[in-house]
Amino acid sequence: MNKPNLTKNTEKRLLSLIDTTELVALKNEGTVSADYYTQLADLYRAYKAYHKEIAILQRFARLDSHAVEDLVAIYERIDKVNRLIKQNLNRRKNTYPAGSGKPELALVKNDEQDEHIHIGTLQTVKPRIDPRKIPFFQQSRKVLTVNVAYTGRTEQDEIIQVGLVLVEFSSRAKNGKIIDSYWGLRNVAQELPFELVNQYRLRMRSKALKPFDSARIKALFQQADFVVSHNQADIERTLLCLMIPEIAKATWYSTQKDIPWVAFGFESNQLSQIAKYYKEKIPQTCIDRAIILARILQHTVPHTTQTYVERLYNMAPMKPFEWTRSLIKQKKKWRRKKNVKIHLMIYCSVILLFIVGIAYYFRPNIQQWMNY
């Protein structure tokens, strides 16, 4: 990249600021904002250094301490740069035919390459088409990808972390667009299993812990035409419905059970293995997993022209959610807990107002006492 010394100094300064920011976040267990990363990416874009632009954006995405609210925009930008690279590659191929001796634009290499996963022997799996349904891409649809971390697999267990990503699929293009997302982390009374803490890199920082935004979660579910989950979709649906009963009527699909990954040649149906094959970062937090699942849905099923989301749409969804006696009991317990918290907040507010009123009423006497 032939650029003046001023630009080189700007690049060095931004890299130094990024290094410092990451060290401070690691020391204080804080979060890292995407500001410096996007500024440096803008600089690389100006000089058409697309490989460096992707590398610095992927560096942010791989952080354990990235700011979750910036992650969706970063992934979208990486997608745009990849499309730009492909366009330039096609333009070069058309300009310099094979055998002309002219160099072609090299495809990007990540700054940290994971071991590539290859697809094995493909079994005969026919595309799924339901003639009773309108073809998926004939009209716009919204799909909600869900990932949940929980303390266990029973009705008494609790949700610790939830990630939701709403993707809109237009009738004019097969690539979906992320239009909204939600990430929540809260503390629970139960002791967390070590495997769960390690898998989701849970950091129970006091500033990150707060009640889930039920209204926001409910709104995302209401916008979606259907919901897609991967790991233990039945458990995720049950625990979410106990917390927010209004979402129980949502149409739900499971990519883990409904898509025959092994038959397609994958080693397993684990999301991390599938993500590796598609050169995605190894998912850590729930929002990472929901975003990567949304991206995987847009890929084409091996050796077919059908995308994964299109295949799911043409399959039968999970059975409608059923409120059993034990689930109804558990739902009542949740409501009681919620009501106790609300009543406690009201009582505390009333007591506080009472104290303030008494202080205001006896203010003259207090002032005389202080002067005395």
pLDDT at 157: 82
Residues 189 and 272 in one domain: yes
Residue 131, in any domain of the structure: no
pLDDT at 100: 41
Answer yes or no: is pLDDT of 362 > 60.
Answer: yes
Residues 346 and 297 in one domain: no
Residues 348 and 298 in one domain: no
Percent of the chain scoring above 90 in pLDDT: 24
Residues 160 and 182 in one domain: yes
Residues 241 and 329 in one domain: no
Among 291, 313, 335, where does a domain finish? 313
User: In this predicted model, which residue has the larger pLDDT, 50 or 87?
Assistant: 50
User: In this predicted model, which residue has the larger pLDDT, 193 or 90?
Assistant: 90
pLDDT at 268: 85
Residue 266, in any domain of the structure: yes
pLDDT band at 196 (very low <50, low <70, confident <90, very high): low
pLDDT at 105: 28
Answer yes or no: is pLDDT of 299 > 70.
Answer: yes
Tell me the mean pLDDT in the region 151-162.
Answer: 83
pLDDT digits (tens, 9 = 90+) for 36-55: 999 999 988 888 888 889 88
- How far apart CA 173 and CA 176 sit, in angstroms, is 8
pLDDT band at 297 (very low <50, low <70, confident <90, very high): very high
- How far apart CA 231 and CA 181 sit, in angstroms, is 19
Residues 330 and 308 in one domain: no
Question: Into how many domains does the chain fold?
Answer: 3
Per residue in 25-45, is it b (16+ CB within 10 Å) or e — as a string?
Answer: beeeeebbebebbbebbebbb
Residues 76 and 157 in one domain: no
- Cβ 345 vs Cβ 260: under 8 Å: no
pLDDT at 313: 93
pLDDT at 343: 52
Name the average pLDDT for the chain.
78
Among 290, 313, 336, where does a domain finish? 313
Residue 128, in any domain of the structure: no
Residue 107, in any domain of the structure: no
Residue 47, in any domain of the structure: yes
Residues 330 and 307 in one domain: no
Q: Mean pLDDT: which of 21-25, 247-251, 327-331 is highest?
A: 247-251
Query: Which domain covers residue 88, as residue numbers?
Result: 5-95
pLDDT at 4: 46
pLDDT band at 249 (very low <50, low <70, confident <90, very high): very high
pLDDT at 190: 57
Domain CATH for 142: 3.30.420.10
Residues 149 and 220 in one domain: yes
Residues 300 and 152 in one domain: yes
Among 78, 95, 112, where does a domain finish? 95
Tell me the mean pLDDT in the region 70-87.
Answer: 83
Q: Any idea which of 33-37, 266-270, 305-309 has the lowest mean pLDDT?
A: 266-270
pLDDT at 2: 45
Residues 276 and 192 in one domain: yes
Q: In what order do the strands lie in the sheet with 252-254?
A: 177-185, 159-169, 141-150, 226-229, 252-254
Residue 189, in any domain of the structure: yes
Residue 56, in any domain of the structure: yes
Tell me the mean pLDDT in the region 29-42.
Answer: 87
Residues 183 and 265 in one domain: yes
Residue 116, in any domain of the structure: no
pLDDT at 262: 82
The Cβ of residue 258 has, within 10 Å, a number of other Cβ atoms equal to 17
